[in-house]
Amino acid sequence: MPDGLSSAMTIKRIHREINDLKKEDMGGITLAPTDNLFLWRAGIPGPEGSVYEGGVFNAEIQLAPDYPFMAPKVTFLTRIYHMNISDRGNVCIDILKHNWSPALSIFKVVLSLSSLLTDPNPRDPLVPSIANEYTRNREQHNRTAREWTRLYARPPAPSPTLKATPGLASRASTSTPRPSASTSSSRASSTSRATGKAKASRTATPLVENGTGRSASAAIAIDDSDDEGSTASGASRKRKRGAGGGTLISDDDDADSSGDTTGTAAPKRQKVAHGEGKRPTQPRPDEVIVIDD
């Protein structure tokens, strides 16, 4: 048969087997082609109840160019203590030799390999020493097979997953933030304004009517000082002269007006230059009224 026709038939057969695998119950077996359609990889789990239980044995299946008219070649990649499988991974099984048929498939070959792990064939051994041990000292054979399975066929244990401690995230989220530079500067500026508040005075000049029908201005001094307990040395008198010549005197420190040197604060009062007494109901044009806060 020409090579071109054989290759076309082989590729068509391989694609058909790939589609058939989607319908099969694979169990724990893995089987798929690599990037090369003529090279397949299989994973065969150790059958339950056998000495190979718990292990996974990987195998490589190489298809011939004229497959399926020629049997594939199987090589075990995982070391196994088996009388029908050599140290190099070669397999001795009848369907891969004289009992091969084009009606068989790759999946059926893998099923036969799984059965070989359960039922080895001591009549056609590939490793005679293991076959003799199997027939004469089954217990020793089983111990060695289990030990090889533990050493070479056990899948790697999954790496532990690190879990975040719940307390760490909450501590990070509720940690006290450090004050920023803008906050510190605003606090400093507000403190300096509070401690360095200056003494301010406002002067209002209301309009009053004099006897002639003309409006005259009377000067009113308002002291907004917050520092009422200043020392006697800082006290001063304010004199305002009105439009009519009258003068009103405001005492910033009652110690000066009362002559009390003890520093005891006395009620503040207003003095008018032309006399003391009851304040007129209506300010005169020539008076200056001082209101001390």
CATH code of residue 101:
3.10.110.10
Report whether 63 contacts 82 (CB < 8 A). Answer: no
Residue 51, phi then psi, degrees to nearest 5: -75, -10
Cβ atoms within 10 Å of 86's Cβ, excluding its own? 17
Nearby residues of 70 by Cβ (< 8 Å), 6 or more positions away? 64, 100
Range of the domain at 149: 3-153
pLDDT for the residue numbered 125 = 94
Residue 222 sits in the same domain as residue 130: no
Name the phi and psi angles at 222, rounded to 5.
-115, 125
Q: Which residues are catalytic?
A: 92
Residue 179 lies in a domain: no
Q: Do 71 and 95 contact (CB within 8 A), yes or no?
A: yes
- Tell whether 92 is covered by a domain: yes
Residue 13 is predicted with a pLDDT of 95
What pLDDT was estimated at residue 7? 81
Which residue, among 270, 274, 277, has the nearest Cα to 285 in the 3D structure? 274
Same domain membership, residue 258 and residue 130: no
pLDDT at residue 106 in the model: 97
Which pLDDT does position 288 carry in this prediction? 61
- What pLDDT score was predicted for residue 190? 52
Q: What percent of the chain has pLDDT over 90?
A: 47
Residue that finishes a domain, picked among 138, 153, 168: 153
Q: Is the pLDDT of residue 266 over 90?
A: no
Residue ending a domain, among 153, 178, 193, is 153
User: Do 145 and 209 sit in the same domain of this protein?
Assistant: no
What global pTM score does this model have?
0.54
Residue 156: which pLDDT band, with cuts at 50, 70 and 90? confident
